[in-house]
Amino acid sequence: MKTIILLLSVVCLIGFSAYSQILKPVTWSYAAKKTSPTTATVFIKATVDQGWHLYSQFVKDGGPVKTTFTFPSSAAYTLVGTTTEPKAITKYESTFKMDVSYFEKSVVFQQRVKLKSKSATVKGSIEFMVCDDKQCLPPEEVDFSIPVN
């Protein structure tokens, strides 16, 4: 009898773990290109799973968490301007009761930097939030490190 109860418990746990998979609908990739001996552009690409969307950097307060890039100060480079993004899709979302701007499938953000030496590693973090038509995932933060040679 104890064996049957133990076996049923294991089967139930396996079933529950299949339903509790961690959703990761965004994959990040990075690249850099020198534009002169002293300047470069870093490219931060989000690949978004079908049905999900990633919010723009320019979402108004009261809506979803906007995508935010944080670059700590560095002795190897300085930022030139702010992180840019292509034109986003803007639509009314009843969940937030406002127009929001977002990206589907993929988006490439760009940040220009001025190099203080021949090479540098641009480091920072991205805070972002994604939603589909049924749910929004909690905001997530990922760190990045992009070599510029």
pLDDT of residue 140 exceeding 50, the answer is: yes
The span from the CA of 22 to the CA of 19, in Å, is: 9
pLDDT of residue 131 exceeding 60, the answer is: yes
The span from the CA of 144 to the CA of 149, in Å, is: 16
The span from the CA of 113 to the CA of 88, in Å, is: 24
Query: pLDDT for 54-101, tens place per residue?
Result: 999 999 999 999 999 999 999 999 999 999 999 999 999 988 999 999
Band (104; pLDDT cuts 50, 70, 90):
very high
Give the predicted TM-score (pTM) of the model.
Answer: 0.84
Q: What's the farthest any 2 CA atoms get from each other in the chain?
A: 75
The span from the CA of 60 to the CA of 32, in Å, is: 30
Residues 6+ apart with CB under 8 A from 91: 99, 100, 102
Which pLDDT value is given to residue 22?
85
Band (7; pLDDT cuts 50, 70, 90):
very low
CATH topology of domain 24-148: Immunoglobulin-like (2.60.40)
Domain positions in the chain: 24-148
Which pLDDT value is given to residue 21?
66
The span from the CA of 73 to the CA of 68, in Å, is: 16
Residues 6+ apart with CB under 8 A from 138: 129
pLDDT of residue 3 exceeding 60, the answer is: no
